[in-house]
Amino acid sequence: MVKRIELGNRKLRVGIIGLGRIASLYEDDARAKAYYPCLTHAGSYARHPEVELICGADIDAERREWFGKKWGVKGIYADYREMLEGNDLDILSVCTHPEHHYVILQAARKKVKVIFCEKPFTRGREEIEEIVQWQERDDAKITINLYREYDESHRRVRALLQQERYGAIQRVNCYIGKGLRNMGTHLLGYVMNTLGMPKEITVFNKSFSTAARECSYDVYLKFPGDIPCLIQACDYERFRLFEMDFVCTEGRLQILDEGLKIAVYEVGENRAETGAKELRRVRRGIRSTIGYALGGAVEHLVRLVREPALAPAVSPQRYLDIQRVIEEIEKQGGRIKCMHN
């Protein structure tokens, strides 16, 4: 039986630090909302019946005003420390620039029950290692927003791969944009949670991403079972591209269009050659629910508060493994000339 904390009929109290795009402002993007009903932290909290958004903090006065009017929140602060002192919060979202995450987490870890932090998680491995030590004590549970980990359809793809529904994985091919520490964390997080920690890492090219204002890397990884994975970087300024292609012995699963499409193929008789085989797309494959991923994250946060034994979906320890891979890629990439696309 799952032990639950009973909080009566009251809703869980939520606050947000950093009131920018992913926290709230993306709600004004009608095109994005058509594909992502759960587009922001604030919007996803507003959809959940068991939580109440009661406060927000940002140094920008216009953002504070917009946030307060949009969500009917009266607890608006310029200083996040005042917000933490003045409110008894169950859940806190941290949506600031990553260089501020560590000091905010340090200030909040004894004052709230659960923290939902944006990525990149921190500035580097040393900060994450210290946060991992915090988690061994009676501090707030921390989970990071690699939002594919909270999406039902992406979890289903992983389950099919790990159960070898379409045979053993032969290789993985990926495309990303907007930098290694930005979109790269989403991709590495998903692939590593599916295949494990890579045994080999080889960087063979890097190019400048104007969208991320940093160099991106073309990388070859070898995972347990000698599964090869190729990651190739593109520049988001030209077009958005995020794909993962898992080629198996008896089929193929593709995550396309940043997760908005999922294609499933299975082996069948070749239409053009007797005795040969081909991959045929399954008409009723997997319908992507990526647009509701942040809603799934909020449900996970609620469960983290109410179920003490439940572990965070993307813990600091798990992110530490991702950070180790990122830093090895950057170390190798430092010896390669950066090419402009």
Domains of the chain: 12-145+293-310 (3.40.50.720), 152-288+325-340 (3.30.360.10)
- Contact between residue 259 and residue 151 where contact means Cβ atoms under 8 Å apart: yes
**With b meaning 16 or more CB within 10 Å and e meaning fewer, what string describes 90-116?**
bbbbbbbebeebbebbeebbebbbbbb
Task: Give the position of tokens 């990884």.
Answer: 221
pLDDT tens figures, 42-51? 999 999 999 9
pLDDT at 237 over 90: no
pLDDT tens figures, 258-268? 999 999 999 99
pLDDT at 182 over 90: no
How far, in Å, CA of 58 to CA of 64, rounded?
A: 6
What's the pLDDT at 8? 63
Report which of 15, 287, 334 is spatially closest to residue 157, judged by C-alpha positions.
287
- The whole-model pTM stands at 0.93
How far, in Å, CA of 148 to CA of 151, rounded?
A: 5
- Which tokens sit at 243? 């794909």
What's the pLDDT at 7? 63
What's the pLDDT at 9? 73
- Please give the average per-residue pLDDT across 171-189, as a whole number: 90
- Please give the average per-residue pLDDT across 316-336, as a whole number: 93
Burial of 11 (0-12, 13-18, 19+ CB in 10 A): middle
- Please give the average per-residue pLDDT across 167-181, as a whole number: 91
pLDDT at 210 over 70: no
- Contact between residue 333 and residue 217 where contact means Cβ atoms under 8 Å apart: yes
Amino acid at the residue 35: Y
DSSP 8-class letter at 291: G
pLDDT at 325 over 90: yes
What's the pLDDT at 211? 60
Least confident of 12-21, 37-46, 162-171, 180-189: 180-189
What's the pLDDT at 240? 84
How far, in Å, CA of 256 to CA of 241, rounded?
A: 8
State the pairing for strand pair 243-248/251-256.
Answer: antiparallel
What's the pLDDT at 52? 98
DSSP 8-class letter at 308: T
What's the pLDDT at 245? 98
Percent of the chain past pLDDT 90, that is, above it, reads 83
Strand, coil or helix: what is 173? strand
pLDDT tens figures, 80-124? 999 999 999 999 999 999 999 999 999 999 999 999 999 999 999
